[in-house]
């Protein structure tokens, strides 16, 4: 790879939108790939609106719903939600040059592994972003909170390519540092997300509101207890020496909408299976009880269903459902 990188951002929602848009605004060769036809059509017609902490811009950026026919790229940045990681990995494999690299900045665990399965360990770099974004409507991405992006090679090396990626992001106004153990940051953010996102999504409250509600603070403490039990049993190294303190401090200060709350409000499938759901699976494999995490996973599944029905499906004829249930009951006696 040389200095003139071609970059594809796979998943152009809240986060992928402003990352890709700001990289393009900084002069880099960037295109977006996203399956939502209405979103891509608006970007191609009117430009991508990137708003927020780095100013308001209308950015002309190529955008595609499919990868077929695209020129091979040097870097694929994965910003789909975790439910679509395997599909995104297949897209990255199709569009990357032989020496190209894919970078995940997604929430949850399992994303790095899915990319490695498709591409091999040497073609994947990992990272986390503590930035926040929103995607209020097609064609718009709002950069709501600026914080650190942390990236690194899986083998811990300070390669030319990882330094180059960090340099591009910094020049785009997205503060980025290179670390030797990126998975410790992936696990660190996973722990944070477990302690914050689901409670916000269930209640409709933002992190700072959760922190200031005593009953929810108590629930949050139980969730964190279970998470840290699993972390200890797995032997995971975390980027934070005091993860509980980090979660509480984050909750105290932040009033942005966590992505899971945004997804619930939009009637979309959340990333619960890669966050608290993944924690429950790890706990079960270890023989550790995780009832509080299990409860919030179940409730999120119910909330997802109710919002999907309300926003995206035809009104339900409950009288007909009751009649069918009564008939079923009679037929089984």
CATH number reported for the structural domain that contains residue 276 in this entry: 1.10.1040.10
**Same domain? 170 vs 228:** no
Per-residue CA distances from 312 to 40, 268, 294, 309 (Å): 20, 9, 27, 6
Q: What is the pLDDT of residues 28-60, one digit of tens each?
A: 999 999 999 999 999 999 999 999 999 999 999
Describe the crossing of helices 214-234 and 276-286 by its angle, rounded to 10 degrees. 50
**Same domain? 171 vs 255:** no
For all residues of the chain together, what is the average pLDDT? 96
Strands (E), 105-166: 124-129, 132-134, 140-145, 149-153
CATH number reported for the structural domain that contains residue 127 in this entry: 3.40.50.720
Q: How many domains does the chain have?
A: 2
12: buried, middle or exposed (CB in 10 Å: 19+, 13-18, 0-12)?
buried
**Same domain? 24 vs 171:** yes
User: Does some domain include residue 328?
Assistant: no
Which helix H or strand E contains 97, and what residues bound it?
strand 96-104
CB atoms within 10 A of CB 111: 25
Q: What is the pLDDT of residues 65-120, one digit of tens each?
A: 999 999 999 999 999 999 999 999 999 999 999 999 999 999 999 999 999 999 99
**Same domain? 167 vs 94:** yes
User: Does some domain include residue 317?
Assistant: no
Confidence band for 1, pLDDT divided at 50, 70 and 90? very low
Nearest one of 102, 83, 32 to 61, comparing CA atoms: 32
**Same domain? 209 vs 288:** yes
**Same domain? 160 vs 200:** no
**Same domain? 153 vs 212:** no
**Same domain? 170 vs 249:** no
Confidence band for 332, pLDDT divided at 50, 70 and 90? confident
**Same domain? 173 vs 204:** no
pLDDT higher than 70, residue 248: yes
Q: What average pLDDT score do residues 165-171 get? A: 98
- Provide the CA 38 distance to its chain's centre, in angstroms: 21
User: Does some domain include residue 326?
Assistant: no
| The token pair that represents 71 in the structure block | 């020129």
Q: What is the pLDDT of residues 136-164, one digit of tens each?
A: 999 999 999 999 999 999 999 999 999 99
User: Does some domain include residue 57?
Assistant: yes
In this prediction, residue 2 carries a pLDDT of 45
User: Does some domain include residue 241?
Assistant: yes
Percent of the chain whose predicted confidence (pLDDT) is above 90: 98
Report how far residue 207's alpha carbon sits from residue 97's, in angstroms, rounded to the nearest whole number. 41
Report how far residue 142's alpha carbon sits from residue 103's, in angstroms, rounded to the nearest whole number. 22
User: Does some domain include residue 325?
Assistant: no
For residue 236, the enclosing domain spans: 185-312
Torsion, Cα of 307, 311, 317, 322 (10° steps)? -10
Q: 310-329 in b/e burial notation, b at 16+ Cβ within 10 A?
A: eeeeeeeeeeeeeeeeeeee
**Same domain? 258 vs 308:** yes
In this prediction, residue 3 carries a pLDDT of 56
């Amino acid at each position: 790879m040389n200095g003139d990188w071609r970059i594809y951002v796979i998943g152009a929602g809240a986060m992928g939108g402003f990352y890709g848009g700001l990289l393009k605004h900084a002069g880099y060769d960037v295109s977006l790939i996203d399956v939502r036809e209405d979103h891509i059509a608006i970007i191609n017609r009117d430009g991508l609106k990137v708003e927020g902490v780095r100013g308001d811009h209308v950015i002309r950026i190529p955008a595609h719903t499919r990868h077929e026919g695209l020129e091979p790229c040097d870097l694929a940045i994965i910003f789909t939600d975790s439910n679509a990681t395997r599909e995104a990995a297949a897209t990255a494999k199709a569009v990357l040059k032989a020496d190209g690299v894919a970078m995940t900045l997604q929430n949850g665990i399992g994303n790095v592994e899915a990319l490695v399965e498709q591409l091999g360990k040497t073609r994947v770099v990992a990272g986390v972003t503590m930035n926040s974004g929103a995607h209020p409507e097609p064609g718009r991405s709002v950069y709501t909170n600026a914080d650190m992006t942390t990236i690194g090679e899986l083998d811990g090396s300070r390669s030319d390519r990882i330094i180059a990626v960090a340099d591009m992001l910094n020049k785009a106004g997205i503060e980025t540092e290179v670390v030797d153990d990126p998975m410790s940051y992936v696990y660190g953010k996973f722990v944070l997300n477990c302690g914050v996102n689901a409670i916000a999504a269930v209640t409709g409250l933002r992190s700072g509101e959760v922190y200031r509600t005593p009953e929810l603070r108590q629930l949050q403490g139980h969730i964190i207890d279970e998470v840290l039990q699993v972390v200890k049993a797995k032997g995971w190294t975390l980027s934070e020496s005091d993860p509980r303190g980090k979660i509480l401090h984050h909750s105290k200060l932040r009033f942005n909408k966590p992505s899971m709350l945004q997804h619930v409000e939009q009637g979309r499938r959340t990333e619960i299976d890669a966050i608290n759901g993944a924690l429950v699976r790890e706990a079960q494999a270890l023989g550790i009880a995780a009832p509080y995490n299990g409860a919030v996973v179940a409730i999120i599944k119910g909330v997802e269903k109710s919002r999907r029905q309300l926003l995206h499906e035809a009104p339900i004829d409950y009288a007909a459902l009751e009649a069918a249930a009564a008939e079923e009951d009679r037929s089984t006696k």
